[in-house]
Amino acid sequence: MIDVFRETTFLVPLGFIGVVFFLMIVIWSIRRHLDPTLHVESTASIDELMTSMAGLTLTTAVAGNSVEVLENGAFFDVLIQQIRAAKRTVHFETFLWKEGVLGQRVADALSDRARAGLKVRVLLDANGSRKIGKTALKQMRDAGCRVVFFRKHAFRNVGVLNDRDHRKLVVIDGREAFVGGHCFVDTWLGDAQDGEHYSDLSVRVHGPVVNTVQAAFSENWVGETGELFVGNDVFPALAPAGDVLIHATYAKPGGSAAAVKILHHTAICLARKRIWIQNPYFIPQPKAIDAFGDAVKRGVDVRVLMPATSGSDNPMVQHAGHRNFEKLLKCGVRLFEYPHTLLHQKVMTVDGVWSAIGSSNFDDRSFETNDEIMLGICDRATTQKLDLIFEKYAPKCQEIQLEAWQKRGLWHKLKDNAFYMLHEVL
């Protein structure tokens, strides 16, 4: 009997270890299918390949649009004005909303439209918007807004709690859309004048591409509510509003790489002159670093603008990014850190003719886990505006130099490597 007890005592932990090991293999296998080695062979310029870019990212390039770049706190003045001018529907989706002056302004505008009889649908990430405040939430619901939280902390969501809705978009009357990086927190007000006021970019678009942005909103709304909204109030036939070709990238197929990851990697591979990136959380995978290195070898000017740890709202992320700075610098990538405040814009421009702007960070969480949306825009004027914003902040940055970087202190290096181990969940 004693021998049987001892044998059982030995087998139970051994069985537990076996189960854990098996689950680790399952998780590795799932992630492996989301992380294929991407490569592109083409001699055509990126503006000639918009149809291909859209197809690879599971969408369609749509002509006949207009684009307006909206910077910093001025974005909210335009957005709230347009919400108050809505006549039929307002669809609002965001990750981060905290109680404050800005949140109350937005809640007032949405409540006003709901009381006027409009259909107002508000989709908030349950984690990012957990501090929205009871007052604004009750006000909107009492006014008739339908406010829904994405992936609420509930037993039925245990398996998907790590999946967050990081999109930031608003669609008004199905005819006008806003897409970008702005969050609904008071630190996004102002004009990036100090550490308490952040920098960010969004775009306002008109034209047929608005239907695609509406489809992105519908995806998560249907998933949370089951409601399929139809009709001209939400999906009207849209006439051309300009001459800009755009594709909205947001799909996240279960068995392959997410569309936003393919978008960024393809753009890197197609660049022939320059790649300028503005992103607050820049932690490229080794394969992406290799792609940057190949671009530099082709003669591409690769630059990245990001906040320094002193300007970031999450210094751990910046330290995680630091871990690969040496390799990036050796590849010929130029790195600029802005120390004064958070630069939150998520922008990539290529060759002065193409740009991507939206909600996606340049890290594993955005590329493989979060729900994101990016607009790929083929337009010289828009690209020039975004490049000018890069140039506005760059003179106030510290450009990282390889020799000095290699001499940074041991404590700095330890933090870089320690936080990099957590980069997939930061």
Residue 328: count of CB within 10 angstroms of its CB: 24
pLDDT value for 424 = 76
pLDDT value for 277 = 98
pLDDT tens digit string along 303-326?
999 999 999 999 999 999 999 999
**CB 77 within 8 Å of CB 107:** no
More reliable by pLDDT, 14 or 238? 238
More reliable by pLDDT, 38 or 367? 367
**CB 156 within 8 Å of CB 184:** no
Task: Measure the CA–CA gap between 405 and 415, rounded to whole angstroms.
Answer: 14
The CATH classification number of 39-56+249-420 equals: 3.30.870.10
pLDDT at 33 over 60: no
pLDDT tens digit string along 363-417?
999 999 999 999 999 999 999 999 999 999 999 999 999 999 999 999 999 999 9
More reliable by pLDDT, 91 or 28? 91
Place of tokens 């990212």: 57
CATH of range 62-244; options 3.30.870.10, 3.90.25.10, 3.30.2080.10, 3.50.50.60: 3.30.870.10
Round the average pLDDT of the chain to a whole number and report it. 92
pLDDT value for 157 = 73
The set of long-range contacts for 241-244, using a CB threshold of 8 Å and a minimum separation of 24, is: 241/64, 241/65, 241/66, 241/206, 241/207, 242/64, 242/65, 242/66, 242/67, 242/206, 242/207, 243/63, 243/64, 244/63, 244/64, 244/65, 244/66, 244/67, 244/207, 244/377, 244/378, 244/379, 244/382
**CB 321 within 8 Å of CB 283:** yes
pLDDT at 63 over 80: yes
pLDDT tens digit string along 179-211?
999 999 999 999 999 999 999 999 999 999 999
pLDDT value for 38 = 83
pLDDT at 290 over 80: yes
pLDDT at 14 over 70: no
Taking 3-state DSSP, the helix, strand and coil percentages for the chain, each rounded to the nearest 5, stand at 45, 20, 35
Domain boundaries, the chain: 39-56+249-420, 62-244
pLDDT tens digit string along 104-122?
999 999 999 999 999 999 9
pLDDT at 137 over 80: yes
The mean per-residue pLDDT over the stretch 347-363 comes to 98
Residue 317 dihedral angles phi and psi, to the nearest 5°: -65, -40
Asked if the domains 39-56+249-420 and 62-244 are classified in one and the same CATH topology, the answer is: yes
**pTM for the full model?**
0.92
Look up residue 378 and give its two tokens.
């083929």
